[in-house]
Amino acid sequence: MFKAFQHPGVLGVTLLCGTIMMITMGSRQTLGLFLGPLNTSTGLGIATISLAMAIGQFVWGAVQPISGALADRYGPRPVLIGGLLILAAGSALTPLMDTGFGLMISIGLMAAMGSGSCSFSVLIGVASQRIPAQTRGSVSGFINAGGSLGQFVFAPITQKLIQALGWMGAMWSLALITLMAIPLANKLTGIQAQDQVHAQKDLGLAQAVKDALKDPSYIFLHMGFFTCGFHIAFLITHLPTEVGLCGLPASVASWSLAIIGLTNIVGSIMAGSFVGKYRSKVVLSLMYASRSVLIAVYVLAPKTDLTFYLFAAGLGLTWLATVPPTATLVGKLFGVRYLGTLFGLTLLSHQIGGFLGAYLGGLAIIEFGDYQWMWYADIVLSLFAALINLPIKELKMTAQPQTVNP
């Protein structure tokens, strides 16, 4: 898996993309830690705050194809820098909001738009256009691991910041940290893109999207990724509350999120390696199936500190490790010329699921007092995702994974 970095320039592109991903995803994936303090401070209620965070899940996905298309059309520099500025502004404004509508603007719209513009669709697209074709699977795994590293690093730091500075001070601190990524974006976009060889004549972005949406394999990929977003957003938003319902301290939640991030570093790198050896649809199917088993075991297990840490470690192995095989599949089916846009659309499906996972979790806790039915839904959807990926018509790995599938 490390052979990819023997090619000139690959290591630099990977480190820059991974570090930007670490910062943007680290701040985003720890928002659940603010749910309790926000509710206590504003008195808005968990359902209202969950709705704002759920809108953020959707907007983060909705902006992916848009930012990907803008990067494909105008270049990634203005997209990345603009996104970082909007993310920082959204975080900085959140402590000033004392209404549900205000949180929907700061967290649900601004922070999500900024983070989404500096995430998978743009960064993997940027990297794919600047590295050799045979390195893309491994590199996407390492870039994805950067986001997981951000979760591992930011979760305990954010919890400490909340304890030391209050939730408002912690949010302002995250805004300042976000701005540190701007020089990295400048350096990354200063690297010259490689000339790409396309298997078919370039008919334009609109036609590429139309052709992709007519392909059943692309639709199946969207459906599986939808379920992935559902349970990831549910857990990111509501795991701290679940920990509290079990009578455990808040530190268990922050460390569980950190463990998910740490183990997903391993899972992402492994997934990037696997897509160079096995069909991506099989890798995805096995990942989703393993989640259903893991969640079922968690539901039946006694709720102790160790249970949460083991659950987090197991879940982390596949957490966002689904991204490398999903992005690779899009590249194999349609090439990399419009990868930012086409992969961005799959991320939109992911975040539609994320919206439902975050919001329905809030409704469940109000209606039933616990998350039992959400766990059942997670199990069923994971099994569905495992099955729906299998009919995808994927060619075997070749030296040119950007070849269009006939």
- Domain harbouring 48, CATH code: 1.20.1250.20
Tell me whether residue 199 is in a domain: no
Residues 6+ apart with CB under 8 A from 56: 31, 107, 108, 109, 111, 112, 358
- The per-residue pLDDT for 406 is 32
- The per-residue pLDDT for 224 is 92
CA distance 208 to 193: 21
Tell me whether residue 372 is in a domain: yes
Tell me whether residue 396 is in a domain: no
Tell me whether residue 133 is in a domain: yes
Q: Which residues of the chain have pLDDT under 70?
A: 1-8, 133-134, 136-137, 192-203, 336, 395-406
- The per-residue pLDDT for 225 is 92
Tell me whether residue 210 is in a domain: yes
Closest CA to 154 of 2, 41, 22, 332: 22
Angle value at C-alpha 226, between 221 and 316, nearest 5 degrees? 100
CA distance 271 to 320: 10
- The per-residue pLDDT for 86 is 95
Range of the domain at 61: 8-192+204-388
Closest CA to 234 of 163, 144, 307, 298: 298
**pTM beyond 0.85, yes or no:** no
The CA-atom distances, in angstroms, between 6 and each of 1, 157, 273 are: 11, 34, 15
- The per-residue pLDDT for 4 is 58
- The per-residue pLDDT for 399 is 42
- The per-residue pLDDT for 138 is 74
Which two structure tokens, joined as six digits, stand for 219? 């639709």
Helix (H) / strand (E) containing 161: helix 136-179
- The per-residue pLDDT for 403 is 37
Tell me whether residue 404 is in a domain: no
Q: How many domains does the chain have?
A: 1
**Tokens 């401070």, residue located:** 41
- The per-residue pLDDT for 114 is 93
Tell me whether residue 2 is in a domain: no
Tell me whether residue 280 is in a domain: yes
